[in-house]
Amino acid sequence: MTPPSRFDEPWQAQLFALTVAMSEAGHFTWSRWAEAFGATLKAMGADRPLDGGADYYAAWLTTLEGLLDRAGHAPVDEAEATKAAWERAYLATPHGQPVRLPG
């Protein structure tokens, strides 16, 4: 039996693993991460209190995108183009078949 996930949605788990793996691979220290994440939470929480669920992982994602953009690992343009390519791949793939990026 698989225990219930500790994340609300699978992408949150992927995001968590991606961030920890990048830090462990030496691309940024965890202190650097916490500092950047804290700054995003502060900025996003200025308008209204964050709920610690969906808000929290939205802030997490924004932080990682920012860090990777500034480091040149995943520049914003490249991230947007890759996201658009995934969107096209999903829309072009018949239901039930594995979705893959062309090339």
Partner 1 sequence: MPHDHPDHPHSLLPSDPALRVKALETILVRKGLVDPAAMEEILDTYERKVGPHLGAKVVARAWSDPAFRDRLLADATAAIAELGISGRQGEHVVAVENTPNTHNMVVCTLCSCYPWPLLGIPPAWYKSDAYRARAVREPRKVLAEFGVTLPDGQKVRVWDSTSEVRYLVVPMRPKGSEGLDEAALADLVTRDSMIGTGLAGASR
Residue 83 engages partner 1 in binding (rule: CB under 8 A): yes
Burial group, residue 10, by CB count within 10 angstroms (0-12, 13-18, 19+) = exposed
Residue 43 engages partner 1 in binding (rule: CB under 8 A): no
Q: Which helix (H) or strand (E) holds 30?
A: helix 30-44
Query: 34-43: which pairs have CB atoms within 8 A and are 24 or more residues apart?
Result: 36/63, 36/66, 36/67, 37/63, 39/63, 40/66
Write down the least CB distance from residue 51 to partner 1, Å.
Answer: 6
Residue 70 engages partner 1 in binding (rule: CB under 8 A): no
Residues touching partner 1: how many (CB under 8 A)?
60
| Binding site residues, partner 1, CB under 8 A | 3, 5-7, 9-11, 13-18, 20-25, 27, 30-31, 33-35, 37-38, 41, 45, 49-53, 56-58, 61, 64-65, 68, 73-74, 78-80, 82-83, 86-87, 90-97, 99, 101
